[in-house]
Structure 1
Amino acid sequence: MPTTFRSHAGAWGTAVIAGLASLGLAAGPVSASTDTSSAPAATQAPQSSGYPTSAVEYADKLVSAYGNGEGQVMDHLATRNVVAALTERHDKHAERWHRTSADSGKGITWVSYTNLETQEVMNLTVRNSIAVDKGGDAVREIEFMD
């Protein structure tokens, strides 16, 4: 095996291991709840494929604002349709959403949350460029899966 090939293979191997290790550090659950009880054992760490962190943080802020009933913050972070959908669903379990996955492509990040009480899944679509600039209405779409 030529020396050049070995050094490139070693560099790629190191990069892959570092990338896999960083996945566990980059993602985590979000909750608007001040409840310190731990999540059920069935809940697993969020999955990722290298999503833009600013878009995920932006979605996390929306979910926290939703759980805390902060309407003005929600109005700034999401479109009117998204805020209306969240407002319609607002119930006693609104503060129990935890991020379960995130993925991105073509300038959009999709972030999924699971409600720990109802097991309902909420999917948000975030425009990366708006989230990076901390502009309003970056969360463009919402979908609930019962």
Structure 2
Amino acid sequence: MPAFISTHAAKWGVAALAGLASLGLAVGPAAASADSAPASSAAQAPQSSGHPKGAVKYADRLITAYGIGDAVVVDQLATKNVVAALAEHNDGHAKRWHRTSADSGKGYTWVSYTNLDTHEVMNLTVRNAIATDKGRDAVREVEFVG
């Protein structure tokens, strides 16, 4: 490859990497505990396509309650199936979850969290109308990946 082309290719590659690296600088964790550490450098800021803020805050409250072991609040915010799945899955690493994405459509918001210790992903499905009205049981489903 001619030196001119390889030099320009290298410059574009460095510019692309710098742009991608800058995306990881704005990290906004949904802290499950007050002493949780910031996300690793590989984490990116939570991504969204216009999710309802009420549903995401509702999910964040559930994750915070789950992280500190507040069973009463967890029971108020999630369906019985979700509460049972969270209790069954609790392996002592529940305190360090970081919100990584949120998206909505057809009356639901899907919020994903990554465990900062195990790198496992937890996906929650939140019913927007119930979360907006601050009703009970808005978190309808939970799925653990990894």
TM-score (ref. length: structure 2): 0.79
Displacement of 1:28 after TM fit? 2.9
1-structure distance, mates of 2:56, 2:30: 10
Q: Which residue of 2 aligns with 1:108?
A: 108
Q: Which residue of 2 aligns with 1:141?
A: 141
Q: Deviations over 1:27-46 (max 9, x none)?
A: 93201122253221111101
2-structure distance, mates of 1:36, 1:142: 22
Displacement of 1:85 after TM fit? 0.6
Displacement of 1:97 after TM fit? 0.5
Distance 1:106 1:116, change over 3 A: same
Structure 2 alignment gaps of length 5 or more: 1-26
Higher Cα radius of gyration: 2
Q: Partner of 2:41: helix, strand, or coil?
A: coil
Paired amino acid for 1:69: G
Displacement of 1:82 after TM fit? 0.3
Q: Which residue of 1 aligns with 2:16?
A: none
Displacement of 1:122 after TM fit? 0.4
**Contact between 2:78 and 2:139, CA under 8 Å: does it hold in 1?**
yes
2-structure distance, mates of 1:36, 1:28: 12
Displacement of 1:91 after TM fit? 2.2
Q: Which residue of 2 aligns with 1:48?
A: 48
Q: Which residue of 1 aligns with 2:13?
A: none
Q: Deviations over 1:69-98 (max 9, x none)?
A: 000000000000001111111122101111
Q: Partner of 2:113: helix, strand, or coil?
A: strand
**Contact between 2:29 and 2:38, CA under 8 Å: does it hold in 1?**
no
1-structure distance, mates of 2:75, 2:121: 22
- Matches for 1:37-76 after TM superposition, within 5 Å: 37-76=37-76
TM-score (ref. length: structure 1): 0.79
Q: Which residue of 2 aligns with 1:4?
A: none
1-structure distance, mates of 2:134, 2:28: 21
Percent identical pairs in the alignment equals 68
1-structure distance, mates of 2:129, 2:36: 34
1-structure distance, mates of 2:105, 2:55: 12
Cα-Cα RMSD: 1.2
Q: Which residue of 2 aligns with 1:79?
A: 79
1-structure distance, mates of 2:138, 2:37: 31
- Extract structure 1 runs of 4+ deviating beyond 6 A: none
1-structure distance, mates of 2:75, 2:112: 20
